[in-house]
Amino acid sequence: MGKIADFNCTYDNAVGISSDVTEKLDLTYPDAYLHWDTMAKIALEIKKKEDVAFCELPFCHTLEAEAMGGIINLGNAAAGPRAKEYICETPEQLLKLPAIDYEKGRIHETLKACRYLREQGENVALLISGPFTILNVLIDARHVFRFMRKQPETMRQVFDKFAEELLKFIEKAMEYDVDMISYADSSGGLNILGPKNMAYMTETFTYPFLKRAEKVVAGRAQIFLCPKTTFALLGTEKMAWMEVPVSGPMRYADAVLSVKDQVVTAGQMCIKNSGYMVKNEIKAVRLL
């Protein structure tokens, strides 16, 4: 097995909405974060402001955890939704959290916004959060590594539970015609987990999860990985690069979208890096 390289990302916490957008839309916050129509307006305005090829939802990393019962501070026009207080203290409590109900709450409104934007002809990237980002909303992160050491089997069940929930989320996203799944785990990078835990999570969670996710989206959507995830897959020898020609120099996301019939999973660069250019090819992810 090779060494896992880190990726120096400045986009891990690039969530929320700039004041330029909120002031222009003249919406009421945090109410605007709760309804599909206001979410769609915000996503369209951000797309226009950043001059990118897609709309992205949601505007935070708390959606899945909230749908499992997490307590969220919805914030305001300056700061979007974020964790408010923890609801779990043990892995057993995490296992007892309810399954996500996609017919109610902010997660339902988010999916409705995605469908509306697709009906308007937009590419839509749905941001899916990884297990440590979800845990960060539900339980004090200081305890998670202790539980991983002392209760490894129970924590494995927790991660399995999250994998099933995320796969259901992706399946539901396909029903709402989402064509881009952006997967990242900003609270579970190499700099936080360390090499040993990162390798373990890549082999036992990330790789099998993504193999299943590819089957869910096949022919319907593309998966965009955070490069931190890509480098972990490379370091554990779970993937190889696949060079795919594109028609000429263009922005990374545009390039990946231009070869959607050839590429299921991409992970060369952060999807939020709108200025990153490729020349005549992209490096797609081929899971082994």
Per domain, the residue ranges of the chain are 19-287
- Confidence at residue 16, expressed as pLDDT on a 0 to 100 scale: 57
Angle at 255 between CA 54 and CA 112, to 5 degrees: 20
Q: What is the pLDDT of residues 86-117, one digit of tens each?
A: 999 999 999 999 999 999 999 999 999 999 99
Q: How far is CA 202 from CA 4, 49, 69, 198, 248, in A?
A: 10, 35, 26, 6, 33
Q: How far apart are the first and last CA of the chain?
A: 14
Task: Mention the CATH class of domain 19-287.
Answer: alpha beta
For the CA atoms of 34, 75, 163, 53, what is the dihedral angle to 10 degrees? 70
- Specify the range with the lowest mean pLDDT, choosing from 15-29, 171-185, 272-286: 15-29
Whether a cis peptide bond, with omega within 30° of 0, leads into 245 is no
Read off the pTM: 0.94
Torsion of CA 212, 14, 110, 69, to 10 degrees: 80
Rounded average pLDDT over 39-46? 95
Is residue 10 classed exposed, middle or buried when 0-12, 13-18 and 19+ CB atoms within 10 A define those classes?
Answer: exposed
pLDDT recorded at residue 11: 58
pLDDT band at 12 (very low <50, low <70, confident <90, very high): very low
Of 64, 161, 48, nearest to 111 by C-alpha is 64
- Specify the pLDDT at position 284: 97
Reference 281, options 243, 254, 250; nearest CA is 243
- Separation of alpha carbons 220 and 249, rounded Å: 25
Give the tens place of pLDDT for each residue, 197-235.
Answer: 999 999 999 999 999 999 999 999 999 999 999 999 999
Mean pLDDT of all residues in 230-250: 96
Task: Compute the half-sphere exposure of residue 202: CA atoms within 13 Å on the CB side of its CA.
Answer: 27
- For the cut 80, the answer to whether the pLDDT of residue 257 exceeds it is yes
Task: Kindly report the backbone phi and psi dihedral angles of residue 186, in degrees, each rounded to the nearest multiple of 5, phi listed first.
Answer: -65, -25
What local confidence, expressed as pLDDT, does residue 14 receive? 47
Average pLDDT, the chain: 93
The whole-angstrom separation of Cα 144 and Cα 201 is 13
